[in-house]
Structure 1
């Protein structure tokens, strides 16, 4: 690993709340949420605005009040708002990317890519807004038929974490807006300003007051208030499995629908027939994207024994050569971890894994100096009971173990109770089909690290949640089904 320079100066915009069309300061004085900190320096740059109970209620009331008119608008008019917001974000992408990098730590290139993905999402969902939402069936009554319609469900709550501070919420919001829902969004308090750029662009594009509301503050209190409120008809949450269980429990008590995109621990199966250097290059790039703070990040690498050492050598070399430094430094290819507690937890996992018998091939330490930097880390030969084999590191740590038969690899891939993402690298199409069929995951990449697209769903199974983000399936999460049976009168 090579460490680049220091963070250039930058101005951080004070975060606000958006309630019923007004940008306002928070009224709550909560102590249960952190300061906003530049991860490259550890220095405080701001604080998320804390919404009071009154402000949360006002936000939900606004979403409820505007739902009827917004959902009845012609789909083309809702699409025009999404298109206008995409144009606005395109004009401000450099400033918005700098804000994201300052509060999150990811490189400017990664921040630009995140904002670009939102622009593309908004334009794609604008096209989908006018898709037919009904089908006709003959039914069972002579002379009648049945219209099966998908209808906007109502006001929705969107709760997202800090690893992709703008795009996770925007992906959900674009789908919700396309079908006619209104929304209350709670961005992460650690990175509150990034999503506000999206809200600003929607307001500039003519989004009616109250259709989108943004609140922030104590995550536990706000999540409970949003999930249990009778006016919120569905909740879309991205985050850890333990928090997802609590969200699901609260939603069940309120009989509120919920979509959960939760944690993972993605396995990678690399067979002996691959181009080893090329596979290592793709997978190292995918592993260290966003400093490994990605729920679909490849983590447990299972490499067939005959090419194992060659793969490890390539992967470890790429890890060591990766330029790490402040995200605003143009030479950086990996920034710091976004929050200090993540660095502490990550280093603890590495230490416990080495104590359990894993070999540290490269990295494994925090960097000296300011900021929350951790070296890109490669562990090999980790026993099944090692921490890294069972706990999602959510950071720049890869564990690489050999396997002998595909059955061995499949057993290890499916051993954990999570099933969000997985990867298969092989030249054999038949082998790829067999492995994909056997691996328990909702989203799988074959010879690619790119598995999230604007037009396809991201879906987990087992403890990785249920429901879908993205694609047409993401739109369906914000709709309910209405079946209308008709018989003509003579």
Structure 2
């Protein structure tokens, strides 16, 4: 298959320069995709702008029918999408299949939510007036998606946008454009009209500048780093661009003395090592109360020692490669810094023999706040553990960060769990749950971890404008 841009219903970009797409497990070039830029981004925006009038005029039931068909096509192509994702991103094939279903579920969920965009009738102060609230699609939406979840992060944005009656221009990550292109191909098969869904690969700088400065783009939705998110806010200021930003995290995982030990170990393992630790909500700092500190580490180490590292296309692999060598270097830096400052490596702490972009699942004990790994997001399979004594102490440690995306608490005591969570400044909290994300629930962060919410019935609101209408009769 040739991977191209999709603009106004046509596959294009054959004559453009190409960017290679690498397999992080082998370092081999999978294929090359067009290096689009300002011109192609403008063409895509124009196509979406032109298509908006007709698409926004369709009924909710028409949009729902197309979205449902699209969801079914994604499931029908599960194996192909999963293999493509594993090849360009590295996650184990079983995880990739799970993400394909997760991605399809977002489209299905918003096929139903399209029929639940409700306005309001407001009690009037004047017998000769009728007061109403109308909901209208915001317009052209630019979606900038990350490499770590190339399917689900795209459909989490496309689903509500399309359901609301918006048109979409997609800029996927340069590391993982192939999954996104395939998803657009399936959308074309579903029958979406020309210009409703467009995709442009290439220069992040040039394409992003068009998205943020062109007044025809009414909303930008982005998942990525906080640093880039702040840049997008600055660039979008001149056109007062509406933004949804799901940014970086630095998730604390709090294990209290009264936690179910096995449940806590399973939850921490699922959170920390899923996607090789390359998720915005994976546990990055693990705080274990003193009475169970040693016991938790012993059981956790036994579990982590059983995880298999390797190419995600192989059977039985639990932890795939990191996305690139820079990711490996960052993990190495964090581990070496922690050891230098007094931590002890319990498990892992190095690359396996095959080197490449792989890193062994790692546990570090006796971590402290002075270590880089306890201050910065690692984005790798390393679990640093710090001992604490009191709930007041751990809440202060957990909140001592500019980030506020996700946090986790493990306790069987309802009073303790409630008191801790009420004091945590995080948009998503898993209580005895290491994998809290769900299509039907709102996802997003506090503080410098972002703006807006994705998922749930809340997720469609950011793609709608609220219009107040006062009618004199």
* Smaller-chain TM-score bracket: over 0.9
**Aligned equivalent of 2:17:** 29
Conserved? CA contact 2:37–2:206, under 8 Å: no
- Residues 1:20 and 2:22 aligned together: no
Instruction: Mark the runs of 5 or more structure 1 residues left unpaired by the alignment.
Output: 1-12
Conserved? CA contact 1:26–1:52, under 8 Å: no
- Residues 1:82 and 2:67 aligned together: yes
After the TM superposition, which residues 195-344 of structure 1 pair with which residues of structure 2 at under 5 Å, given as runs? 195-344=180-329
Displacement of 1:26 in angstroms is 5.4
Query: 2: CA distance between counterparts of 1:148 and 1:275?
Result: 49
Which of 431, 436, 439 is residue 451 of structure 1 equivalent to? 436
Conserved? CA contact 2:255–2:409, under 8 Å: yes
- Residues 1:141 and 2:116 aligned together: no
Cα distance 1:366–1:48, how it changes in 2: closer, same or farther (>3 A)? farther
- Residues 1:91 and 2:90 aligned together: no
Deviations 1:382-437 (A, max 9, x none): 22110001010011111111111000010000001100000011111111111110
- State the SS of the aligned residue for 2:248: coil
Conserved? CA contact 1:27–1:50, under 8 Å: no
After the TM superposition, which residues 50-449 of structure 1 pair with which residues of structure 2 at under 5 Å, given as runs? 50-369=35-354, 371-449=356-434
Give TM-score scaled by structure 1 length: 0.94
Give TM-score scaled by structure 2 length: 0.97
Structure 1 vs Structure 2 CA RMSD: 1.3
Conserved? CA contact 1:366–1:373, under 8 Å: yes
- Residues 1:485 and 2:473 aligned together: no
Displacement of 1:15 in angstroms is 2.2
Displacement of 1:339 in angstroms is 2.1
Query: 1: CA distance between counterparts of 2:2 and 2:290?
Result: 53
Query: 2: CA distance between counterparts of 1:411 and 1:293?
Result: 25
- State the SS of the aligned residue for 2:39: helix
Aligned residues: 473
Deviations 1:260-287 (A, max 9, x none): 1000010011111112122112211221
Cα distance 1:14–1:391, how it changes in 2: closer, same or farther (>3 A)? farther
Query: 2: CA distance between counterparts of 1:47 and 1:315?
Result: 41
Query: 2: CA distance between counterparts of 1:184 and 1:237?
Result: 12
Displacement of 1:478 in angstroms is 0.7
**Aligned equivalent of 1:10:** none
Query: 1: CA distance between counterparts of 2:136 and 2:331?
Result: 44
Query: 1: CA distance between counterparts of 2:93 and 2:5?
Result: 25
Query: 1: CA distance between counterparts of 2:355 and 2:424?
Result: 41
Conserved? CA contact 2:161–2:460, under 8 Å: yes
Conserved? CA contact 1:340–1:372, under 8 Å: yes
Query: 2: CA distance between counterparts of 1:393 and 1:14?
Result: 35
Query: 1: CA distance between counterparts of 2:298 and 2:95?
Result: 27
Query: 2: CA distance between counterparts of 1:435 and 1:312?
Result: 22
Conserved? CA contact 1:63–1:213, under 8 Å: yes
Conserved? CA contact 2:263–2:432, under 8 Å: no
Displacement of 1:218 in angstroms is 1.5
Instruction: Mark the runs of 5 or more structure 2 residues left unpaired by the alignment.
Output: none
Displacement of 1:370 in angstroms is 5.5
Displacement of 1:27 in angstroms is 4.9
Displacement of 1:369 in angstroms is 2.2
Deviations 1:109-148 (A, max 9, x none): 0110111111211111111111142011114333323111
Conserved? CA contact 2:270–2:435, under 8 Å: no
Conserved? CA contact 1:81–1:206, under 8 Å: yes
